[in-house]
Amino acid sequence: MSGLLSWMIFIPLIGGVVILFFKQEQKSAIRAAATVTTIIPLILSLMMLWEYDPSTPAMQFVEHASWIPALNVFYHVGADGISVPMLFLTALLSMISIVASFGIEKRVKEYFAFFLLLETGMMGVFAALDFFLFYVFWEVMLVPMYFLIGVWGGPRKEYAAIKFFLYTLFGSIFMLVGILLLYFNTEPHTLSFLELIEHGPAFDHNLQLLVFVFFFIAFAIKIPAWPFHTWLPDAHVEAPTAVSVILAGVLLKMGTYGLLRISFPMLPYGTNYFIWPMAAIGVIGIIYGALVCMAQKDLKKLVAYSSVSHMGYCLLGMAAVTSVAGIQGCMFQMFAHGLITGALFILVGVIYDRAHTREIAAFGGLWLKLPVYSGVMILFVMGSLGLPGLAGFVSEFMVFIGSFPTFTWLTGIAVLGVLLTAGYFLRMVQKMFLGEFNTKWEGKLPDMNFREIFTVVPLAILMIAIGCYPKILSMWMQPTIQDLVRLIAR
Amino acid sequence: MLQNAWIIPALPLAATVLIIFGTHRNRAVSSGISIAAIVSGFIYAVAILFNVLHDHGPHEFYFKWLDFGSWHLQIGLLIDPLTAVMLLVVTIVSSCVQIYSLGYMHGDPRFSRYFAYISLFSFSMLGLVLSNNFAMIFIFWELVGLTSYLLIGFWFEKKSASDAGKKAFITTRAGDLGFIVGILITLYACGTLNFGEVFTKIETGVFAGGLLTAAGIFLFCGAVGKSAQFPLHVWLPDAMEGPTPVSALIHAATMVAAGVYLVARILTIYIASESAGMVVAVIGITTSFMAASIGLVQNDIKRVLAYSTVSQLGYMIMALGLGAYTAGTFHLMTHAFFKALLFLAAGSVIHAVHTNDMQEMGGLGKKMKITALTMFIASFSIAGIFPLSGFWSKDEIVASTSGHPIFMVLTLMVAFMTAFYMFRLCFLTFTGGPRDQHKFDHAHESPKTMTVPLMVLAFLAIFAGWVGIPWLSHGFSSFVYHGEPHHAAFHFDIAGISLFVGLSGIGLAYLMYYKGTISPDKVAARFRPLYTLLYNKYYFDEIYDAIFVQPLYAICDFWFWFDQHIIDGLVNGAATLTLWWSIAKNWFDVYIIDGAVNGAGYTIRGTGSILRFAQTGRLQNYALIIFAGVILIWFLR
Amino acid sequence: MTEISLTNLTFYILSFCIIAGGIFTVSSRNLFHSAVFLVFTLFSVAGMFVMLNAYLLAAIQVLIYVGAVAMLMIFGVMLTTRLADVRLRHVNEQSWPALAICGFFLAFLVYGLWDTPFTVSGVPMPADTAHALGTLLMTKYVLPFEVVSLLLLAALVGAVVIAKKD
Amino acid sequence: MDQVPIGLNHYLMLSGVLFTVGIFGVLTRRNAIAVLMSTELMFNAANIALVAFSRFVTPAALTGQIVAMFTIIVAAAEATVALAIVLLIYRSFKGINVDRINFMKW
């Protein structure tokens, strides 16, 4: 099927526009339309996985068309081993988020329209092979995100939305400068990823350092790497459930994806120059995030800070640029974190919908009355704290394997994060699910319904499958990652 | 046959899945599935044992689990005599415990879930012993940790239970950190995690020196956590909050032995690196002595057994650290049986009187004959009394210390203390008069489902050790050995001393707690500081709480504060500064720039407001002025 | 002996009448009196025109000013002014400055006009200026004449429209 | 006394005085009709000057008389319109005092 990626990118947009023609009152129709609109890209992404040839690192499903000839800008999309899993993850999480958003009653039409626009942006970012296109999609994501947090969010939504928006925009500016620097330092001027990657080692070294730092700031804010992470807890806490899922599951991955797709291959010298700071930031993020988690009283904030910690593993892994294991671990962590944290946010939303509080201390003994919910929650908590047999373990282990030869001591410190993660999650589990049932919730907390279970089951299955047999994920990435390591080593 | 050994762990796993997703509403079916799975596993394990007896192996089967670049990780089976023995031990104990649980857990609202967990544990433990590489053993290592967590906190309504589960998980995980680092070092040094390949590298000298020592010590950290060795032993006594069968299975016989199993499995490292081996031995004997001394004064029947377990595990670890592979593993096996028996018997008592406190028991022997009998058998076994299992294995351990006088002295002291506290337990529980009449009146012998497993284990506690009797063609040592079979000659002197020590311990307990010749209270009063120290378990929990837990919370709170106020403060501060800047600019804009513009206007308006009085609006006024102007012009002309 | 020409005397008398009439016109407390003095003044001016050999103009002055404009004024006064108002101030507060300025003005005027050497033509006036004027109006000044007639028409209509009660 | 023949200057003097009187009236009278009368005086002063110039400077051309005639006509038109306005003002302001009609300021 030709134009597969374009269809994946723009079907949500089309769906969003169509939804705008619905009446505000036709809520179920809107929800159905949105679901269908997200199922189509999901099916397309499965087709993409089917047709994808994992034996080559080359870009596949490439579409190339002139867009702004005067600036050498092209509509250029394609997918390789790095983007294919991310595109699939995006499609999956979008579909799940849409289903998880059925509880939204306020301005349903706009909500789903924004959500679908957001999906277009995300798909576009992961598929774009042209800086201009990339940047456009990157910014396209911001706007719906801003409104989704700012309109459908919690009590401090305006603050959170503005913080998110400004912070990300702040990073984007650096990225833009970096893009322009690269653009004007190539002859002929080009914005094509592939050409810039080809040109990579020829960039002046100082330029590489400068541009790397610029890009890193932009992506680190998105990751979010310590110390650029403070927008995340606010955004998460205020965002509606499904938006949190997307935020944690997909948006954070764009930072790491950007580093892997752009910074690393285009700026090999800069990359190799900065691996130590990157690893250090990653490790600080791991430990720091975990420590801060331990002090949290709000369940959602805890999960949010755990994201900071978990994304630290990504940074640490990718900083080990010489090893396939490190980068692969980073990719795994991106995917696994998307699954696990996405599910955790859904589950947080489930309990919030019932109890209208996320205060950990307000619960207790939930396992007695909500066995399904508790079981699922504990399963994902275990996944998040790196229990073997679940996806989180594989990625963390691979990150450690990859980074240990290069950053022996840092890895040694990072391992502590595993313990701390266990600490804060088990504390949370104990306070919420174990102990006596808090009688004030007597009869007020029904167990998960079918729709909610449906939203987490695919994630659970994937998490267990990847944990038990990681090859189902690594097979897509292998050649690309090897090629990436080769590109960085240039 | 052997390559299908994965069936043994797969059966309990299947049972778990079936129970959780299918039969959890039907208690009988759930427990039946679980027991059927483990018993089938036991039968298969027996078959494997005979296969391995025939051909020691090692037999290895694997597939590539995960690959990155030129490296890969495996999932594989390693079947050698040690594995075969462990499979047998685990399946036997697990079977007994599960059958026992039918009675013990009868009436529990989460009966099915209990069996699901137990099956999951069996799966993990069996997978652990079948692992052929570090990564895989780590995976199952963590899984047994999870099931341990779930089962300790099985009665999670009790805060102490959920606390204990959490403590167990986190403490063992602290050890696992070292394990991970050890694995990473190994992988870094050898490029592989397969046991056989790593050992080959060691033997060829590729993996040696400081790196090897570091790897050995770090890997041992895992064992320290899991086997509750000093200084991470604190979780095991608390783990007694779990149901007693769980304590028997997980926290006495199998899971805590996993650390010992690990050390045995990678003993090559400790033999190649003597310093690492010495660390292991020292930790082992320290743990053993410390735990035994604490066990002397505890009143909680299960805690006495828990400290006994810690102590015995220390024994094994020490033996392994000294390179006595056979001794360590042999004791591991015999210990599994008699300690499981002790726990199950204690569970039977608890089931009868609904208390853990030995001070509230007494005289139960009359009412619970089978329980009392099996308990005494197990106690004799652990005390190392001829000819029970414990005698043979303990003798080998004492023999292994022959080159190290300090170790030997300490070992014998531990043996003495072990005999003393075990019989203190027995006498306090089963003999004398009832100290709590009400509880005594309600006491009764446990049902068949509980007593039959007790009898099976008692049989094993007596005879399992006989496979190691030197005169029976060195049965055990010619089967489970490291390198070349090492047939220790039977040392009558050592055996004699060991036996004497054990008997004197029993005798002292007899005098103090049966005859009452020596008053325990007086002894306690005499050694008050020591007694207090021991009674409070050397204050480990308090010390850890003070130096790790509370500072950690404080640190976490600090960093959260730091995050909220410093980092976020910087962000918000930047925003605020920008805002101020904007406000300043706005002020500048409004008052200076715009002010200039408006100022011009104001000036004109001000002037105008003065001048406007000239604008009377009266025609004649204007006309007069015009006229005056005309005249003025004319005049000025 | 210098002939005291009747012309001179007539001039002075008429001058006096004009100026006095003017002064009374502007200074009379009673508006009606003002109107009467105005008519007087206008007649005097008409006499002055006669002295200047502008007979037709004098006739027009009498017809239009006295017959039309003055009557208009009187009607206006009678329509708008209650005669009881006479005790009110009839001049505004700037009368003294105005007087001073007017004094200045007059002084300058006198000073300027007194010794300005106008080039006086010695040609006597034609006796029949009316004929000449008529010819001029129909020939040389026909356009202003027509414009003025239009102006009159416009004034007529405008006055009606403006003064009309809605 | 020295008989000075009545010449142009005398007429101009007369015109000037009348004009000044008219101006004074315009500048000082409160009543609008009185102001109108004063302007009539000024017109007449101008007419005198025009006719005098016509008599003494260009006696043959009669231009001054023509202009004076037009002035009279225009003055008549002006008077009619002005009086109409005065009537209007009177209806609007219940009075025709000029110093009350001061809304031309600002």
In a domain, D102, yes or no: no
Tokens 């033509």 map to which residue? C121
- How large is the average pLDDT for residues B201-208? 83
Q: What is the DSSP code (8-state) at residue B475?
A: T
**Nearest residue in A to B177, CA atom:** A415
In a domain, D56, yes or no: yes
Say what the pLDDT of residue D2 is: 46
**Contacts (Cβ under 8 Å, ≥6 apart) of C142:** none
Say what the pLDDT of residue A435 is: 83
Say what the pLDDT of residue A119 is: 92
pLDDT (tens digit, 9 = 90+) per residue, B152-170?
Answer: 888 888 888 888 888 888 8
**Nearest residue in D to C50, CA atom:** D51
- The phi and psi torsions of A74 (rounded to 5 degrees) equal -125, 155
**CB nearest to B563's CB, from A292, A418, A436:** A292
CB-based contacts of B465-474 (< 8 A; 24+ apart in sequence): B465/B330, B465/B334, B465/B381, B465/B388, B465/B389, B465/B390, B465/B391, B465/B392, B465/B393, B466/B387, B466/B389, B466/B392, B468/B330, B468/B334, B468/B392, B468/B393, B468/B396, B469/B392
Contact B111, B33 (CB under 8 A): no
**What is the token pair recorded at A52?**
């994808």
Q: D52 vs C52: CB contact, 8 Å cut-off?
A: yes
**Contacts (Cβ under 8 Å, ≥6 apart) of B406:** none
In a domain, D100, yes or no: no
- For the question of an ipTM over 0.85, the answer is no
C116 touching chain B per CB within 8 A: no
In a domain, D1, yes or no: no
Say what the pLDDT of residue C1 is: 39
Contact D37, C34 (CB under 8 A): yes
Q: Which CATH number is D55's domain given?
A: 1.10.287.3510
In a domain, C146, yes or no: yes
pLDDT (tens digit, 9 = 90+) per residue, B573-603?
Answer: 888 888 888 888 888 877 788 778 878 888 8
Average pLDDT, chain D: 82
In a domain, C150, yes or no: yes
Say what the pLDDT of residue D75 is: 87
Residue type present at position D62: L
pLDDT (tens digit, 9 = 90+) per residue, A363-397?
Answer: 888 888 888 888 899 899 999 988 888 888 888 88
Lowest mean pLDDT among B99-113, B371-385, B484-498: B484-498
Asked if the model's pLDDT at residue B267 lies above 70, the reply is yes
Nearest-angstrom CA–CA distance, A265 and A6: 25
- Residues forming beta bridges with residue B63, ordered by sequence position: B75
Q: Which of B61-75, C87-101, D62-76 has the highest mean pLDDT?
A: D62-76
In a domain, C96, yes or no: no
Q: B184 vs A404: CB contact, 8 Å cut-off?
A: yes
pLDDT (tens digit, 9 = 90+) per residue, A458-477?
Answer: 899 899 888 888 888 888 88
| Global confidence as pTM | 0.75
**What is the token pair recorded at B296?**
């002397």
- How large is the average pLDDT for residues B385-401? 82
Q: Determine the residue among C26, C104, C106 to mutate to test chain B binding: the one whose Cβ has the most chain B Cβ atoms within 10 Å.
A: C104
Which residues of chain B are within 8 Å of residue A368 when distances are taken between CB atoms? 157
CA dist A26 to A17, A30, A33, B61, B593, Å?
15, 6, 11, 60, 53
Q: Do chains A and D touch (3 or more CB pairs under 8 A)?
A: no
Q: Which CATH number is C147's domain given?
A: 1.20.120.1200
**CB nearest to A401's CB, from B140, B157, B184:** B184
Q: How far is C89 from chain B (nearest CA, A)?
A: 15
Say what the pLDDT of residue B571 is: 82
Contact A44, A87 (CB under 8 A): no
Nearest-angstrom CA–CA distance, A227 and B568: 9
Q: What is the DSSP code (8-state) at residue B391?
A: H
pLDDT (tens digit, 9 = 90+) per residue, B221-253?
Answer: 888 888 888 888 888 888 888 888 888 888 888
- How large is the average pLDDT for residues A398-417? 88
In a domain, C121, yes or no: no
R_g (Cα) of chain D, nearest Å: 18
R_g (Cα) of chain C, nearest Å: 20
**What is the token pair recorded at A170?**
């702040």
- List the 17-56 stretch of D: residues with Cβ below 8 A of C: 17-25, 27-34, 36-38, 40-41, 44, 47-48, 51-52, 54-56
In a domain, C149, yes or no: yes
Say what the pLDDT of residue D105 is: 60
In a domain, C97, yes or no: no
**Contacts (Cβ under 8 Å, ≥6 apart) of B157:** A365, A368, A434, A435, A436, A437
- The phi and psi torsions of D65 (rounded to 5 degrees) equal -65, -40
pLDDT (tens digit, 9 = 90+) per residue, B306-359?
Answer: 888 888 888 888 888 888 888 888 888 888 888 888 888 888 888 888 888 887
pLDDT (tens digit, 9 = 90+) per residue, B518-546?
Answer: 777 787 788 888 888 888 888 888 888 88
Nearest-angstrom CA–CA distance, B521 and B627: 131
**Nearest residue in C to D26, CA atom:** C26
**Nearest residue in B to D105, CA atom:** B617
B404 compared with A341, residue with greater pLDDT: A341
In a domain, D59, yes or no: yes
Per the structure, how many domains does chain D have?
1
**Nearest residue in D to B625, CA atom:** D27
Tokens 């743990």 map to which residue? B287
B622 compared with C1, residue with greater pLDDT: B622
Which chains reach chain D with 3 or more Cβ–Cβ distances below 8 angstroms? Answer: B, C
Asked if the model's pLDDT at residue B139 lies above 80, the reply is yes
pLDDT band, residue A343 (cuts 50/70/90) = very high
In a domain, C151, yes or no: yes
Tokens 């012993």 map to which residue? B129
Task: Supply the range of the domain harboring residue C56.
Answer: 1-85+128-166
Burial, B438: exposed, middle or buried (Cβ in 10 Å; 0-12, 13-18, 19+)?
exposed
Say what the pLDDT of residue A369 is: 84
Asked if the model's pLDDT at residue A90 lies above 90, the reply is yes
**CB nearest to C92's CB, from D30, D44, D73:** D30
Number of other CB atoms surrounding residue B598 within 10 Å: 13
Q: What is the DSSP code (8-state) at residue C141?
A: T
In a domain, C31, yes or no: yes
Which residues of chain B are within 8 Å of residue D35 when distances are taken between CB atoms? 620
Q: How far is A426 from chain B (nearest CA, A)?
A: 6
Say what the pLDDT of residue B489 is: 63
DSSP C28-90: -SSHHHHHHHHHHHHHHHHHHHHHTT-HHHHHHIIIIIIIIIIHHHHHHHHHH--GGGGGS--
Per the structure, how many domains does chain C have?
1
CA dist D51 to C17, C46, D11, D62, Å?
18, 11, 9, 9
| Residue ranges of chain C with per-residue pLDDT less than 70 | 1-7, 81-89, 166
Half-sphere CA count of B184, side-chain side, radius 13 A:
29
- Which candidate, B154, B125, B381, B308, places its Cα nearest to that of B245? B154
Q: Please, what is the Cα angle at B128 between B126 and B133, to 5 degrees?
A: 140
Asked if the model's pLDDT at residue A1 lies above 60, the reply is no
Q: Do chains A and B touch (3 or more CB pairs under 8 A)?
A: yes
Tokens 């770090």 map to which residue? B218
Q: How far is C91 from chain B (nearest CA, A)?
A: 11
pLDDT band, residue A93 (cuts 50/70/90) = very high
| Percent of chain B whose pLDDT exceeds 70 | 96
Say what the pLDDT of residue A257 is: 92
- Which candidate, A332, A328, A319, A265, places its Cα nearest to that of A478? A328
B208 compared with A208, residue with greater pLDDT: A208
Task: Supply the range of the domain harboring residue D55.
Answer: 8-93
DSSP SS3 for B487:
coil
Q: Determine the residue among B613, B616, B618, B625 to mutate to test chain D binding: the one whose Cβ has the most chain D Cβ atoms within 10 Å.
A: B618
pLDDT (tens digit, 9 = 90+) per residue, A278-326?
Answer: 999 999 999 988 888 888 888 888 999 899 899 999 999 988 888 888 8
